Amino acid sequence: MLWAFQWMPFTAPSPIGKNQHHHVMNLEQEKNADSMRLCISKTNRFFDKIAEGGGPKRIEKLHAEGKMTARERVNYLLDAGKPVVEIGAFAGFEMYKEHGGCPAGGVVVVIGYVRGRQCIVVANDATVKAGAWFPITGKKNLRAQEIAMENRLPIIYLVDSAGVYLPMQDEIFPDKEHFGRIFRNNAKMSSAGIPQLAAIMGSCVAGGAYLPIMSDEALIVERTGSVFLAGPYLVKAAIGESADKEALGGAAMHSEISGVTDYKMPDDKTCLDTIKDLIDKYGHFEKAGFDRATPQPPQTSEEEFLSIFPESGGKPYDTLALLRSLTDDGQLTQYKEHYGKTIICAYARIDGWAVGIVANNRQVVKNAKGEIQFGGVIYSDSADKATRFILNCNQKKIPLVFMHDVTGFMVGTRSEQGGIIKDGAKMVNAVANSTVPKFTVIVGNSFGAGNYAMCGKAYDPRLIVAWPTAKIAVMGGEQAAKVLAQIQIQGMKDKNLAADPEQEKALVDEIKARYEEQTTPYYAAARLWVDAIIDPRDTRKWISMGIEAANNAPVERFNPGVIQT
C-alpha cells in the first residue's frame, strides 16, 4: 500500500489577530503586502520543484520496489496535525548543475513530533543519485546532528543511501567537517545520552554502514534494506568471493546471524510504526526552565502584518509595529527606550515563551544631542545598549531573538574617534559568550560586521531563518560594485590606462549583478548559511519550536569574558 503525500513548505501560520482592529491600508501598504505575497509565492514555487527530489520517474521506480519516498516516510512518521519545520530545504539549490543537481542536498531534515515527543528526523532521498552524499549532504547531516546535540533532541535516521558520491569524494571524504564527522558525532551523542534511532530502509554501504550501527538501536526492512562494508562487486574484486546482497548484508542475515540489527521489519510502514512505539517509551531530560505563559496571538491582522515590510527593502519602516505583529497580544517592554535608538531591545512573549528581542530599528531617529542617526546602522550607543541587554537576558535565563535588518556599524572619522570598534567588540563578545539559546531571523539586510553582532550563523544561533526579503553579504551590491569598480579603475590609472564613462558604468553594472545574485536568501540557503527561508507568518512557530527544543538542555553558567568599558 502506498500513502498519498502532500508537503507544503509553509504550514498553517500561527494565529494572528485575536483582537485585531479594523485597519484600512493605504496604497503603499497594499503594495507592500502584494510584494511580500509575491516573494512568498516565488519561494513556494521553488520548493514545489525541490520536493520532487529526483523527479516523477525515480519516485515511480521507488514505489515499484515497495518503498516510500523520503518525504512520505517523514510524513507518515510524524504526528498528524502537529507543527513541523524543515531544516535546509534549499540546501544545494542551483548547485552541482554539472552533476545533475542535488535537490534539498539529497536528504530531508525536519523537527517535528513523534508520539508527542519533539524529535529531529533525517531521511535520505533515494531518488537523488540513489541517496549518495554530495558535499552539501554532509554539511546538512552535520547541521542536523548539531541541532540534536545542542538541544538534546532524539534523532531518527531513515537510511537509504549509496554512500559518498564518488565523483566528488575529495570534497566530502577526509576533512574535519566531512563524511567521517557524522560517525564521530554518533559516538559523542551516545556518550551524552542523546537517543539515536536508525532504520535501514534501503542501501547502507561502506563507511555509511557505521551510521545506523553506531546509533542506539537499528531496524532493518526485509528485501529493501541492506548494510555492509563492501557490496558483491567489491567483495568479488577484493577477495574473489561470490556473494549476493542478502548473504552479505540483508535483513535476515543481520537479524538472525550477525546480530548487527535489532529489529527485522517486513515493510516501510511496519518499520515506521515500530519507531513510533520505541519513541513512545523514552524518558525525559532535565529542563532548562525557560518561562512560558499561556500563548496569546498578536493583535495585528495577517494582511496588516504583511504590509509592514516595504516593497523596496531600503526604505524605512515601523520596526516596532513589525515586532508587535509577532509578540503575544502585541506587548513589548522596551529596555533603554530613549537611548541607542537604532537598536530596539525589548522583553516580550512569543507563543507564550519569554524572550529578549534585539532588533535593528529601520526608522531614522535623533539621539539625545539632536543628531540624525540612520535606521539599520549600529552606532556606539546602540551597541552599548544591546550589550547590556544581552548580559541581562543571560542573567535572567531568557532566550534571545535577533531580528536582522542591518547595513553594518557606523563608519567615518567621528565614529572611529568615538570608539565604534571597541563598542562593536563589546557587543560581539556578549553575543559570542551568551549561553542562553539564541534565535536569528533575517528580515531584510544582514551586511558586514552587523551580521556578526546580530548573531549570524558564525555565532551559533540554535536556529537561523530568513524571510524571502533577506539579503546577506559583506555589504550591499551597490556599495560593493562602486568599491570594486573604483579599485579596478584606479589600477588602470596607475598603468596610465584610461576608462571612459561607458566602460565604468558597464563595470559597475557587471559587478553589481554578480553581487546581487550572491546576496539573495536562496544563495544563502543553498549553502546552509541559514536553516530555512520561511513565510514571515511562520516566524512565531519557528521561534516557539526552537525554544521548546532548547528547553531540553540546561543552560551553562554565563561568563561574559573581558568586556572593556
Whether the predicted pLDDT of 8 surpasses 50: no
Q: Kindly state the cell numbers that stand for 18.
A: 485575536
Nearest C-alpha neighbor of 465 from the set 528, 533, 529:
533
Check residue 565 and give its pLDDT. Answer: 54
Bridge partner residues of 205 (DSSP): 228
CA–CA dist 147, 141 (Å, integer): 10
The DSSP bridge partners found for residue 158 are 123, 199
Q: Report d(CA 438, CA 418) in Å as an integer.
A: 29
Would you say 378 and 342 are in contact if contact means Cβ atoms under 8 Å apart?
A: yes
pLDDT score for 9: 40
Q: Is 5 exposed, middle or buried (0-12, 13-18, 19+ CB in 10 A)?
A: middle
For 211-230, how does the pLDDT look when each residue is reduced to its tens digit (9 = 90+)? 899 999 999 999 999 998 88
Q: What is the largest CA-CA distance in the chain?
A: 85
Secondary structure (3-state) at 86: strand
Q: Taking the alpha carbons of 348, 353, 358, 363 in that order, is the dihedral positive or negative?
A: negative
Reading the block at residue 347, the C-alpha cell is 522583553
**Are 307 and 25 within 8 A, CB to CB?**
yes
247-284 per-position pLDDT tens digit: 888 999 999 999 999 999 999 999 999 999 999 999 98
pLDDT digits (tens, 9 = 90+) for 496-540: 776 677 777 777 788 778 878 889 999 999 999 999 999 999 999
CA distance 413 to 198: 58
Most confident by average pLDDT, 17-21, 330-334, 368-372: 330-334
Mean of the per-residue pLDDT values for the chain? 90
Confidence of residue 438 (pLDDT cuts 50, 70, 90): very high
Q: Given a cut of 60, is residue 15 above it in pLDDT? A: no
Task: Give the residue among 463, 398, 391 at the shortest CA–CA distance from 433.
Answer: 391
The mean pLDDT value for 301-306 works out to 93
When computed from its CA atoms, the radius of gyration of the chain, rounded to whole angstroms, is: 25
Cα separation of 559 and 500, whole Å?
57
pLDDT tens digits for range 188-198: 999 999 999 99
Nearest Cα to Cα of residue 550 among 463, 433, 466: 463
Task: Give the pLDDT confidence of 382-420 residue by residue, as tens digits.
Answer: 999 999 999 999 999 999 999 999 999 998 898 888 889
Question: pLDDT class for 114, splitting at 50, 70, 90?
Answer: very high
- d(CA 210, CA 132) in angstroms, rounded, equals 15
Please give the grid coordinates belonging to residue 218. Answer: 537499528
Distance CA 275, CA 380 (A): 53
Range of weakest confidence among 19-23, 251-255, 291-295, 317-321? 19-23
* Strand partners for 531: none
What percent of the chain shows pLDDT beyond 90? 70
